[in-house]
């Protein structure tokens, strides 16, 4: 038992999963602003000079060329699609996973009024 108590990190963070999800989200946000926002805009609506002509560059309107699943978003990031470059080899698997999580959260927070209401105080 003394051994358990001595293990670092076991007691300090009551919700380790939540904390690591937060970290992923923050990392995903940084990657998005660095690599994606030039086309998809900082808020994900795709209204930029580079991508404004492509309706599917809007990632927050709830409409997807694909099914909007994590797997489809990951595929798009890895393979790209003209004019979007592919990020396979430029981002690590972990960075891609974090970016997918961020894109999903971005699209959900924008397109789900219930989630917005629930998030703000009454
Ligand atoms: C050079 C501009 C450019 C960059 C940089 C770019 N994209 Fe795109 N992206 C586009 C365009 C344009 C489309 C729409 C293509 C089409 O019509 O299918 C698109 C489509 C997508 C889609 C598919 C949307 C759907 O409807 O299925 C996803 C997901 C996506 N981008 C995510 C990203 C992420 C994440 C990054 C950064 C890692 C990124 N993009 C970087 C231009 C870009």
In ligand 1, the atom with minimum distance to the C-alpha of 55 is 17
Q: What is the model's pLDDT at position 115?
A: 45
Ligand 1-lining residues (CB < 6 angstroms): 35-36, 38-40, 50-51, 54, 56-57, 59, 64-66, 73, 76-77, 81, 83-85, 87, 99, 103
Q: How far apart are CA 33 and CA 40, in angstroms?
A: 9
In this structure, the residue with its CA closest to atom 26 of ligand 1 is 64
Residue count of the chain, please give it: 122
* Closest by Cα among 37, 36, 111, 113 to 68: 111
Q: What is the model's pLDDT at position 7?
A: 54
Cα 53 to averaged position of ligand 1 atoms, centre (Å): 12
Q: What is the model's pLDDT at position 41?
A: 98
Six token digits for residue 91: 């981002």
Task: Decide if 99 contacts 92 (C-beta within 8 A).
Answer: no
The CATH number assigned to the domain with range 21-111 reads: 1.10.760.10
pLDDT per residue, tens digit, the chain (122 aa), is: 555 555 555 556 567 788 888 999 999 999 999 999 999 999 999 999 999 999 999 999 999 999 999 999 999 999 999 999 999 999 999 999 999 999 999 998 886 555 444 444 45
């Amino acid at each position: 038992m003394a051994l358990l108590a001595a293990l670092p990190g076991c007691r300090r963070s009551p919700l380790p999963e939540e904390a690591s999800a937060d970290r992923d989200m923050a990392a995903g946000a940084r990657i998005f602003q660095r690599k994606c926002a030039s086309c998809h805009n900082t808020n994900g609506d795709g209204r930029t000079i580079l991508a404004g002509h492509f309706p599917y560059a809007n990632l927050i309107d709830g409409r997807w060329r694909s099914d909007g699943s994590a797997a489809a978003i990951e595929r798009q990031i890895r393979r790209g699609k003209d004019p979007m470059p592919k990020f396979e080899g430029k981002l690590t698997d972990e960075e891609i996973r974090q970016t997918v999580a961020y894109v999903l959260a971005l699209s959900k927070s924008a397109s789900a009024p219930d989630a917005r209401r629930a998030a703000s105080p009454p």
